[in-house]
Amino acid sequence: MHLPSHISASTLVDLGEDPSAVLSRLRRPVPREPGMSARKGTAFHAWVEDYFGTTGMLDLGEAPGADDHIDAAYDLDAMVATFKASPWAERSPAFVEVPVETRVGDVVVRGRIDAVFQDADGRWDLVDWKTGRRPSGAHLRARAVQLAVYRLAWARLKGVPLDDVRAAFFYVADNNVVRPHDLATARELEELVQAALA
């Protein structure tokens, strides 16, 4: 089986963890309802966009259609408090929710970078907000493929060396920044795709 010409960054992550499940899902796509964790992530991401768009003055109660019982179900208040106390809240992103795509082997991988910061030295810092619990071991290494794709796409987009782009996950529920130091290179990402199809 061949991959489609375009895949999402999360599909590439899944390929690294369970290629047969991904290929099966691509062969017979079945629509899925977003689960609670996806809705929680969407709610938090929307809040962060508003936070940066209004210089941090938005309170949850001011959000259009704010619903106390939904916020409580997602534990949004706790995540907001954690975010506001984090160093990210004090920084000004250069870009928020940036769509990117880049070629990895024979496929184009698409994704959306949650926030892009430019450091004082001109280097770039990409952040992906995570509302779930931090994984460990092999699962964390697999998730880092997402950051590797974003880093590669951003370096190519800006025409800068890969070493000038850092990337991190911020696990809001744990108030934990995870910055893998061994992100995959373009060649290693291509090998991941080739291995999944072998």
pLDDT tens column, 141-168: 999 999 999 999 999 999 999 999 999 9
Residue 107's pLDDT band (cuts 50, 70, 90): very high
Q: pTM for the complete prediction?
A: 0.84
CA–CA dist 128, 109 (Å, integer): 16
Question: In sequence order, what are the beta bridge partners of 115?
Answer: 96, 127
For 48, residues 6+ apart whose C-beta sits below 8 A from its C-beta are: 83, 96, 114, 115, 129
CA–CA dist 196, 181 (Å, integer): 24
> Is the backbone of residue 15 left (phi > 0), alpha (psi -120 to 50) or beta?
alpha
- Give the chain's count of helices (H) and strands (E): 7, 6
pLDDT for 104 equals 95
Residue 36's pLDDT band (cuts 50, 70, 90): low
